[in-house]
Amino acid sequence: MRSLIQWFDSQGAADASSLQARQASQDTSSIDWFRVLPFLLMHLACFSVVWVGWSPIAVAVAVALYGIRMFAITAFYHRYFSHRTFKTSRSVQFVFALIGASATQRGPLWWASHHRQHHRSADQEGDPHTPHNGFWWSHMGWFLSKAHFHADYSRVKDWEKYPELRWIDRFDIAVPVALAMGLFLLGSALEYFAPQLNTSGGQMLVWGYFISTVVLTHATLTINSLAHRWGKQRFNTGDDSRNNGLLALITLGEGWHNNHHYYPASARQGFYWWELDISYYLIRLMGALGLVWDIKPVPKQRLKQGEQR
């Protein structure tokens, strides 16, 4: 693992211009240790599984919460709030902003602001999380730094008119805390009313919140780190974005990251039928149910242009 990381970092160093390297050293030196602590504790809390044990119901809740929150992040935080690739009602927008916030990746405005900046300067100076600045920087150093604690809200002016979204952003810890507390209460209630399920408040908290959230977090972060390193480049996007089927599987479709950098305005990231894009299928399902509409496709002409390359 160590040599793998060194390889990533050496790749980054080789790519970096002197300006980027200078910027990297400034950024990485400004890691906000006050923010690292809760992030570290969230990981350590997973180890308490040795005390609380497991049960099929607790594992099922962890898996379900991984799936629904990954969908909220990929379909809404990313494809909706960052790229506006489909439309929806204010209430659906709010519900998925809440579910997205429960993933503990800050609020939708903070997320979209940084992500829009990523597309504006992908793997160039100004990209918040290019692996040119080192693998660990692209994976998690960037959001643990002082430089990226605050978002530039001028990039998300289109969302600022919604006070409910601004509230989620302002109190971004509220939803994750509510989820964690709710899971503890659920587990405690099940322990009392359905003892045959063999669960408890602590067990539901550890599986449903801590383990599920830590796995979800790192799976999402691979798109910033690995999806700009590992995989194939179908399109010449001028950045290091890659298509990677394995990453697409664990992130419900985000692994088609080179496709996405080629045409970010599309709700679909797996451009062909064989490119599994579960979030897109679910967006289409929501479309069929009338919950979302104006789902933007990849124009055939753009696809052809890319293929002719």
Report the distance separating Cα 191 and Cα 188, nearest Å. Answer: 5
Touching Zn ion, residues 122-141 (CB under 5 A): none
What x-and-dash track marks residues 225-264 binding Zn ion by CB under 5 A? ----------------x-----------------------
Of residues 202 and 255, the one with the C-beta less far from Zn ion: 255
Minimum CB–partner distance for residue 10 and Zn ion (Å): 21
Q: Which residue has the tokens 């449903």?
A: 208
What x-and-dash track marks residues 182-221 binding Zn ion by CB under 5 A? ----------------------------------------
Of residues 107 and 253, the one with the C-beta less far from Zn ion: 253
Strands 292-293 and 87-88: antiparallel
Minimum CB–partner distance for residue 286 and Zn ion (Å): 19
Q: What does residue 149 show for φ and ψ, rounded to 5 degrees?
A: -65, -40
Of residues 143 and 209, the one with the C-beta less far from Zn ion: 143
Contact 202, 187 (CB under 8 A): yes
Of residues 133 and 212, the one with the C-beta less far from Zn ion: 133
How many residues interact with Zn ion (rule CB under 5 A)?
1
Residues in the chain, total: 309
Q: What is each CA distance from 205 to 18, 28, 97, 175, 217, in whole angstroms? A: 46, 33, 22, 14, 16
Q: CB-based contacts of 86: which residues, under 8 Å, 6+ apart?
A: 79, 80, 267, 283, 287, 292, 293, 294, 295, 296
Minimum CB–partner distance for residue 167 and Zn ion (Å): 24
Of residues 55 and 243, the one with the C-beta less far from Zn ion: 243
Minimum CB–partner distance for residue 270 and Zn ion (Å): 14
Beta-strand runs (E) in the chain: 87-88, 292-293
Residues found near Zn ion in the complex (CB under 5 A): 241
